[in-house]
A and B are shown apart, each in its own frame.
Chain A
Amino acid sequence: MKLKYLLRAVQKYKCSYKSYSTEVEIDIPKRIPRGPTDILKALASTVKRDPTAPHYKYHDDPYLIPYNNFTKRSYALSQESGRKAARWIRQQHKELFQHKIAEPLIEAFIPTPEYNENSEVDEEILKKLINNGFVSDALFVYNLLRNKKIDITPSTKQSLLEFVCFTNEDEPISEDWISERWFLMGMKNQKDSNTWKNGGLAEQLFYELKSDVPSSYSAIICGMCKYFQVSKAFEIYSEAQSKNIILNVETYNSLISKAKFVNESHPKIWELIQTLLNEMAERKIKPNVKTLNSVLESLSKMNTNRNAKTYALNTIAEFKSLNIEPSLVSLYYLLEICSRNKSQLSSMLSAILDYASNKNFTIRDKKDISFFSKAMEVCSKLKDKDLLYRLHELLLTGNNYNLIGDSFSESVYYRYFFYLLTDTEELSKVMEFYDDLVPNVYVPEPSVTNAILKAVCNNMAWDLLPKLWSDILLFEQYEVSGVLENILDIASQNEDKNLMEGMSKIAWSAWEKIEGIKRERSNFQWSASALGNIILILLKSGEKAKANLVMNKLIQLGSSAMNEPKIEALSLYVDSCIESSSPDVAIKCIQYCNDIGFTETTEFARRINSSIELNPRQYEKLTSIVGEDCLKVEKKKDQSR
């Protein structure tokens, strides 16, 4: 029995052994070459941004987390200014920072050398300065070298020329100051005006170099195009052509992108672009993605032309056959080109999203960062929420969020995002996004807050108001025109009995907040309607004493306050006075009604007269406001009854 069992076991084992030993081809995968940081990237890709936490540039402590746009900006810039102070100290006390701990030496930690008239300089130093991008130092050292009559090789001169053309002799904001660049608004609004330094160092260098170094032509043309000295750039271009000098691809790119500035009519512009492109083909210069972008940029400037779109699409097709995929800014220009025609724009955006969906973009052109905010603007213009969702998904794909640009374009993106959502989407969905994005990713501007409040009003979702009000306090928007008025107006329309207490809390905190501000610091002015709404809300939840305070303010402001309170509020107030039988206060209110010029004044007066026993002085006062006749009429009516 036992033997039998054993035998079976052995057989079983044999079987399973067989199945293991069948000759399965082991397929060893090919080795994938990895870079030194690939494992870090893989690890990083597992971490998503946590919307409940502030951006990592801020300290993760409740006291140090910024909650509105102003503090976001000021904290980040404060930290950077602290870093600048440290750098200043290092430069002031250079001799103290000469120790060398790091092995190998890290130059960023060592004070940068400064140069004066007596410094020993040579070409190597100049080269190094150019490589490190120190504009003013490089220019100073160059002048020093010239004064000392030290010869500089043409190749160094050429790199100096390229450097000067790139920067136009202005020191750019160093890349070390990340926050400053992030919060710099001016980049977008940079005007297309001629800022090229005429007769400056670049031109001097060019005239010295041009006979020896043909690539100096490329450099100077690029520089002039970049700083909008376009006509001169084209002059030099024709000079280069006559000398049969081969220019590089960047030069052609910059000429193409500025084609609009030398020609007036659209056909001529297009003709110029085509000649430039043909010339590139003749000279066997391979175009790159920036060539495509330059063509599209020029076309986007002539978007009134009917053919612009056809030209653009043909260009993209042609570049695709050259294996050049459009970058994000190409798509941006396509939107610009179609911006005249709404139906075209809609089909274009959806085609673009078809093309781009699930693609992981990296920056290939400096202007790539302008796509997302522009596309969101278009979505909001078209009022198409499907496009919005698709665009938002694209933004969250891979590392595409890095291409959102700077703080300005990020807030533009979310502004249009919320405009469109509040217009077209149901409120619950809007609030889902709101909870997700606010306040760590985005702080709504007052106009967006108003849009959300409007949506809340339309949906009669008063239960959201306490949360929104606390956010408004957090973002310090209560003083901004409209927001306070809006929220009070909506709160006063509340019909839900259970929420009355919450509403009165809002009203009272609004009152206390505004009254608590020092007058010198703010120029906020109560509007009568806001005060009226506060009174209305407070009375609805039975807070008479508080309402009295607000009423006093209203009476004190009188007709100097903007617009007028709701008649409903005043009527309720009179009623409450009658209830607590305080005729003096009621008469004051009636005086106010009369001053403002409500037609209901007499009706209120009658109501008081009929329901409270007035003493002669009070009666006299009442008659002096509304006239004896009105009250008498009332009395007679009563008697006749």
Chain B
Amino acid sequence: MNLPRTTLLLKKITRDTPLDVPINVRCLHLTDINLKKQAGRYKKTPRGDKPLTYEMAYAPHRIAHYKSWNSWNTANLLDGLRPAETLQEDAFIRKFMTGTWHRLFLSEIIIKRQHNLIRIAGIIHQAIPPRKLYFLIGYTEELLAYWLQCPIKLELQTVPNRSDVTFKYI
């Protein structure tokens, strides 16, 4: 029997309550909980032609099983230092990178911290000549170093086509 729960409840009421309760009483009204989870998940397209990277293809609960974290640091462990600042700085770095390396990053921006060193990794598109990429590397490393006042290193990999990072289509 697949009736909506409200009906079930009504039936229950009619059976269990004393007869003096009128039948048209307003009872507790319940609907299903909406367990819709959206963050970090991608919607299917009707044509099924939306490219996803490996990272995008797995939902957040797969982290540490099928995929890994995007920020690596110890700020949130017991006695970790500067948890709030680290989060805010990471957000800043991601904004800075997507803006400075416009349409070049094909993967998530991975930020790894060790002591005072910040390593920023990712996969970029070979859309501009290496010379210009080197300019951007130098610029990014230096400017972020001034901003965050610690040594910054970029660890980039390049791919010739955007489709090279596609893991599946949905």
Contacts and interface: CB of A to CB of B under 8 A. Distances in A.
Contact of B131 (A75, A83, A101): A75
A81 B145 CA distance: 16
A530 B150 CA distance: 57
Given A81-B135, A102-B149, A86 B142 contact: yes
- How many chain B residues sit at the interface, stated as a range, is 20 to 34
B141 A83 contact: yes
A86 B138 contact: yes
Interface stretch (A57-65, A124-132, A550-558): A57-65
Contacts, number: 80
Given A64-B156, A82-B136, 14 more contacts: A59-B156, A62-B158, A63-B130, A63-B158, A75-B134, A76-B134, A81-B138, A82-B134, A82-B140, A86-B146, A101-B148, A101-B149, A102-B116, A106-B149
B10 interface: no
A80 B138 contact: yes
B132 interface: yes
A89 interface: yes
Interface string A71-111: 10011101111111111011000000100111000100100
Contact of B130 (A71, A80, A97): A71
13 contacts: A59-B137, A61-B158, A63-B158, A64-B156, A66-B130, A80-B138, A82-B135, A82-B139, A85-B138, A86-B142, A101-B149, A101-B150, A109-B149
A78 B138 contact: yes
Contacts of A89: 143
Contact of B139 (A61, A85, A97, A109): A85
User: Which 6 residue pairs are nearest across A and B when measured between Cβ atoms?
Assistant: A82-B138, A86-B142, A82-B139, A79-B138, A86-B143, A102-B149
A80 B139 CA distance: 8
Interface string A488-511: 000000000000000000000000
A59 B158 CA distance: 10
A80 B136 CA distance: 10
Contacts of A85: 135, 138-139
A342 B135 CA distance: 49
B156 A87 contact: no
Give the secondary structure class of B's interface.
helix
Contacts of B136: 82
A170 to B, nearest CB: 25
Nearest to B150: A102
Given A59-B156, A61-B158, A97 B137 contact: no
B98 interface: no
Contacts of A83: 138-139, 141-142
Contacts of B156: 59, 61, 64
A90 B146 contact: yes
B166 interface: no
B153 to A, nearest CB: 10
A109 B141 CA distance: 12
B106 interface: no
A78 B131 contact: yes
A109 B146 contact: yes
A74 B134 CA distance: 9
Interface of B: 116, 126, 130-143, 145-150, 154, 156-158, 160
B138 A61 contact: no
Contact of A63 (B126, B140, B141, B142): B126
A71 B157 CA distance: 19
Nearest to A82: B138
A71 B130 CA distance: 9
Interface of A: 59, 61-64, 66, 71, 74-76, 78-87, 89-90, 97, 100-102, 106, 109
Contacts of B150: 101-102
Nearest to A75: B134
B157 A61 contact: yes
A123 B60 CA distance: 60
Contacts of A74: 131
B166 to A, nearest CB: 19
B130 A82 contact: no
A74 B129 CA distance: 12
Contact of B135 (A66, A78, A97, A100): A78
A195 to B, nearest CB: 32
Most interface-central of B126, B134, B149 (chain A CB within 10 A): B134
A80 B143 CA distance: 12
Contacts of B132: 78
Contacts of B160: 63
A329 B152 CA distance: 38
Contacts of B135: 78-79, 81-82, 85
Nearest to B141: A83
B148 A64 contact: no
B124 to A, nearest CB: 9
Q: Among B116, B141, B145, B146, which residue has the most Cβ atoms of chain A within 10 A? A: B146
A265 to B, nearest CB: 54
B84 to A, nearest CB: 13
B100 to A, nearest CB: 10
Contact of B142 (A59, A64, A87, A100): A87
B82 to A, nearest CB: 9
A61 B122 CA distance: 12
A63 B104 CA distance: 14
Q: Identify which of B116, B131, B150 gathers the most chain A CB atoms within 10 Å of its CB.
A: B131
A67 B139 CA distance: 23
A82 B138 CA distance: 5
Contacts of B131: 71, 74-75, 78
Contacts of B134: 59, 64, 75-76, 78-79, 82
A101 B149 CA distance: 6
Contacts of A90: 143, 146
B133 A109 contact: no
Contacts of A59: 133-134, 137, 154, 156
A100 B147 CA distance: 9
A97 B142 CA distance: 13
A82 B145 CA distance: 13
Contacts of B141: 82-83, 86
Given A80-B138, A82-B136, A82-B142, A97 B126 contact: no
Contacts of B130: 63-64, 66, 71, 75
A81 B157 CA distance: 21
A64 B158 contact: yes
A97 B146 contact: yes
Contacts of B126: 63
B130 to A, nearest CB: 5
A62 B142 CA distance: 23
A83 B152 CA distance: 12
A74 B138 CA distance: 13
Contact of A86 (B116, B139, B154, B158): B139
Contacts of B143: 86, 89-90
Contacts of A66: 130
Contacts of B139: 82-83, 85-86
A41 B94 CA distance: 35
A59 B156 CA distance: 8
B71 to A, nearest CB: 18
A87 B142 CA distance: 7
A497 B146 CA distance: 63
A85 B158 CA distance: 23
